[in-house]
A and B are shown apart, each in its own frame.
Chain A
Amino acid sequence: MEPSKRHKLSASARREARWGLLFLSPWLIGFLVFTLVPMVASLLFSFTDFNLLRPDEVHFVGLKNYRHLLHDPLVEQSMLVTLRFILISVPVGMLFPLLLATLLNAKRLKGKPFLRTLFYMPYIVPMISAAYIWRGFLGTTDGWLNKGLAVLGIKGPDWWNSPRWIYPALVLAGLWGVGNAMLTMLASMQGVPTELYEAAKVDGATPIHTFRHITLPMISPVLFYNLVLILIGTFQYFLLPWVIKGPNGDPGGATMFYNLYLFKTAFPYSDMGYGATLAWVLFFIILLVTLFLFGTAKYWVYYPSEEV
């Protein structure tokens, strides 16, 4: 708004703004103290050799951390691990809740509220409990999945110890985290105006056609929202394998995710300067990906009408 308008704010408007700011102040202060200042500090750290064990001997080292990052084999390795995992887990993390939502939205399905509650429930299970449950459930010789496969005559893979099978194992365990995505997709499907479906029926459209050309575009904002969140989340992924396989990226470096390397650098190795560098690089990558996604949104995300 132009400055002249600001002067014209009446006394009552100014009073209202003051009250409003007072109410916003907890967040404004919090944003400053816990977000903005740490972000800037993190950037400053990345140009120093700040070590938590020697907090009084901090030196400015220029771009040394960034140069080291370019030649650090673990950065390349852990970034590749992260990208590989994204390629496997993000599609599953989008399609599985979409399947569940479509199923729960089916007209003829019985026991919907019951099914919806129980399909959602694993989302509530604490990550720690889920990690131990899945670690046992996918055990090589003793896990129930492999015992079930053995009944079918299939030799189950070595889920947690094979560098190749650990990603599918993590994706399976991640299926318990789709509750929110499922629920939002379902709610969005239920919000699609029935007239659209009736019109399609009159035109003789097949269910697949209807799904493809009515349901998907209509729920695309929710799909977009979930895709953004899941991508950002997966770039930061490391806790579940950390709890299950320990802090060394076992087996054979397959779970040395970028974020795990970041955590180890900053905390166990106490190298906060380099850790901050890794964090800023991650932030920058996530920012680029998110901006790219927003850039593509206009080609596939359908907003019925811009209402605020």
Chain B
Amino acid sequence: MVSGKMKRFTAAALLTLFAFTLLTAYLSPFAYMTSTAFKDLHQFSRPDAPLWPAQEKSFTWEGKEYPLYHVPFEDGERILALVKKGREESLFVDPQNPEAGEIRWEGRWRTLEPVWEFSPRWENFPEAWEAIDFPRLFRNTLIIATVGMIGTLLSSIAVAYGFARFRIPGKKVLFVILIATIMLPRQVTLIPTYAFFARIGWTGTWLPLIVPHFFANAYNVFLLRQYFLTIPRELDEAAMIDGASPLRVLLSVILPLSIPAIVSVGIFHFIWAWNDYFEPYLYLATKPELQPISVGIQQFNALYSNQPHMIQATALMGLLLPVIIFFLAQRAFMRGVVITGVEK
């Protein structure tokens, strides 16, 4: 009995340990991002620098700053400031006793270990915030995402209601076509769509990113339809008998009962719009003042490709909001994924 329990306990512990190790490895790039975002630019070109944000300790001697190193001597290691570098011998000064003057040490200074101290650089964030003009990117993204969300909710609810409740000739075929559009490669429609938008002067505006959402989307329609199907028809029929029109039924019967599904769709769209990159890039590459956050970050980082701390700081700023929304609404979110992915 006891040994069986013990065995089961060990198995559970090992399994859990494995899962958490895997999770740590899986998420370790986030640790890299966070640590790098706090570093000082000078730390990057030092191959001997530690992983954490650090600064080299230095000593000011005769008005100039010199870096400190661990220097080995016969009678033990001393911490000295390197004042003159040389290939096979260098000159140091003892910070404890600078009056003693320069100390000659034979050996290669490159093999010495510098003295690092933990020093996160908080200024990176205000600097990155201003450099990418975060408030502007945020506003643009918010407008594109919100108007698109309203559009996709209005249209997808209507279409889902149509598929869920009405007998229409050819409905099955239409539904299959709807689902098939999920599999259609975007390229096959992209070029004429772009040429069309260019022709009517919509390139360089938000319209190509917003207007199509007012015409429903297969994922959202599917998710909402599945949800509407779980609402008992008797409720509609009761309302119909009271003389309600189909639109009334949708607004006063179906919608109030479908809030969770609607919330799911709303969150899906918002996060999708926040993360969307290619089409905003295509339509807004020439209009920095209209770009959403994804394009803004990419364009900034293409210009400042040699500033890893700034790149990681902006990457962090880009992912924060969607991740927070996800944690707050994770149940609604993951339920939506399961409905569209499993039931189809």
Touch between A and B in complex, CB under 8 Å?
Answer: yes
Q: A127-B294, A132-B312, A134-B29 are in contact. Are A27 and B183 (CB under 8 A)?
A: no
With A119-B26, A232-B183 known as contacts, the answer to whether A279 contacts B190 (CB < 8 A) is: yes
Q: Which residues of A contact B36 (CB under 8 A)?
A: 136
Q: CA of A110 to CA of B182 in the docked complex: distance in angstroms? A: 36
B window 187-203: CB within 8 A of A = 187-196, 198-199
A235 to B183, CA, bound (A): 12
State whether the Cβ of A280 lies closer than 8 Å to any Cβ in chain B: yes
Q: Which residue of A lies closest to B12 (CB)?
A: A108
Is A50 close to B, CB under 8 A?
yes
A30 with B215: CB separation less than 8 A? yes
A31 near B181 (CB under 8 angstroms)?
yes
**Closest chain A CB from B311 CB (angstroms):** 5
- Could you say which of A16-24, A60-68, A163-171, A295-303 contacts chain B? A16-24
B residues in contact with A134, CB < 8 Å: 29
Q: Does B73 contact A (CB under 8 A)?
A: no
The verdict on B290 contacting chain A, using a C-beta distance below 8 Å, is no
Question: Cβ of A191: which chain B residues have Cβ within 8 Å of it?
Answer: 342
Q: How many angstroms from the CA of A39 to the CA of B191 in the assembled complex?
A: 9
CA–CA, A142 to B29, complex, Å?
13
Give chain B nearest CB distance to A27 CB in angstroms.
4
Count of A-B contacts judged by CB separation below 8 Å: 265
Interchain CB contact under 8 A, B23 and A124: no
In this assembly, does A90 line the interface, its C-beta being within 8 Å of a C-beta of chain B? no
Within the complex, which residue of A26, A180, A286 is in contact with B155, where a contact is CB–CB below 8 Å?
A26
Q: Which residues of A (109-143) have their CB < 8 Å from a CB of B?
A: 109-111, 115-122, 124-130, 132-134, 136-137, 141-143
**In the complex the two chains form, is A121's CB within 8 Å of B323's CB?**
yes
**Alpha-carbon gap, A1 to B177, bound state (A):** 18
* Closest residue of A by beta carbon distance from B282: A267
Q: Closest approach, in angstroms, between the C-beta of A131 and any C-beta of chain B?
A: 8
Tell me the minimal C-beta distance from B294 to chain A in angstroms: 5
Residues from 308 to 344 in B contacting A, C-beta threshold 8 Å:
308, 311-312, 314-316, 318-319, 322-323, 326-327, 330, 334, 337-338, 341-342, 344
Say whether B341 contacts A115, CB under 8 Å. Answer: no
Contact A132 B189 (CB under 8 A): no
- Asked if B167 CB lies within 8 Å of chain A CBs, one says yes
Q: What band does the interface of chain A fall in when counting residues whose beta carbon is under 8 Å from B?
A: 35 or more
B189 touches A34 (CB 8 A): yes
Q: Is the CB of A34 within 8 A of B185?
A: no
- Chain A nearest CB from B232 CB (Å) reads 18
With A52-B198, A124-B323 already in contact, the answer to whether A144 and B28 are too (CB < 8 A) is: yes
Query: Using Cβ atoms and an 8 Å threshold, which residues of chain A touch B29?
Result: 133-134, 137, 144, 176
For the complex, give the distance between the alpha carbons of A229 and B340 in Å: 13
User: Nearest Cβ distance between residue B7 and chain A, in whole angstroms?
Assistant: 11
B159 within 8 A of A: yes
Cβ–Cβ contact B169 & A27, under 8 A: no
Q: Would B216 and A45 count as touching, CB distance under 8 A?
A: no
Residues on the B chain within 8 Å of A144, using CB: 28-29, 31-32, 51
**Cβ of B118 to closest chain A Cβ, rounded Å:** 18
Near B by CB (< 8 A), chain A positions 224-248 give 225-226, 228-229, 232, 235-236, 239, 243
Q: Which residues of B contact A286 (CB under 8 A)?
A: 183, 185
A229: chain B residues within 8 A (beta carbon): 182-183
Q: What distance in Å separates the Cβ of A179 from its nearest Cβ neighbour in chain B?
A: 8
A residues in contact with B330, CB < 8 Å? 117, 120
Contacts of A26 in B (CB 8 A): 154-155, 158-159, 214-216
How many positions in chain B have a CB within 8 Å of any CB in the partner chain?
Answer: 92
A168 to chain B, nearest CB (A): 15
Q: Which residue of B lies closest to A308 (CB)?
A: B172
- B271 / chain A contacts, CB cutoff of 8 Å: 124
The smallest beta-carbon distance between B188 and chain A, in angstroms, is 4
Tell whether B212 is near chain A: CB-to-CB under 8 Å.
Answer: yes
**Nearest residue, chain A, Cβ from B155:** A26
Contact between B15 and A106, CB atoms less than 8 A apart: yes
Partner of B196, one of A17, A38, A176, A184: A38
Contact indicator A283/B188 (Cβ below 8 Å): yes
* A262-B315 CB under 8 A given contacts A21-B168, A147-B51: no
Query: B301 CB to closest chain A CB, in angstroms?
Result: 6
Q: Are B26 and A45 in contact (CB under 8 A)?
A: no
The 9 closest A-B pairs by CB, nearest first: A30-B215, A20-B166, A23-B162, A184-B341, A41-B192, A38-B189, A26-B155, A108-B12, A126-B275
* Chain B interface residues toward A at CB < 8 A: 8, 11-12, 15-16, 18-20, 22-23, 26-33, 36, 44, 47, 51, 154-155, 158-159, 161-163, 165-169, 171, 174, 177-178, 181-196, 198-199, 212, 214-216, 221, 246, 271, 274-275, 277-278, 282, 293-294, 297-298, 301, 308, 311-312, 314-316, 318-319, 322-323, 326-327, 330, 334, 337-338, 341-342, 344
Residue pairs across A and B with Cβ atoms less than 8 A apart, 24 shown, are A16-B168, A20-B166, A23-B158, A23-B166, A27-B216, A30-B215, A41-B196, A108-B11, A109-B12, A111-B20, A117-B334, A120-B334, A125-B319, A126-B293, A127-B275, A127-B294, A128-B275, A130-B319, A142-B308, A144-B31, A144-B51, A184-B337, A236-B185, A290-B183
Beyond A126-B277, A141-B47, A183-B341, 14 extra complex contacts between A and B, CB < 8 Å = A13-B167, A26-B215, A27-B159, A28-B174, A33-B215, A38-B189, A45-B192, A103-B22, A121-B327, A124-B322, A184-B341, A279-B188, A279-B191, A282-B187
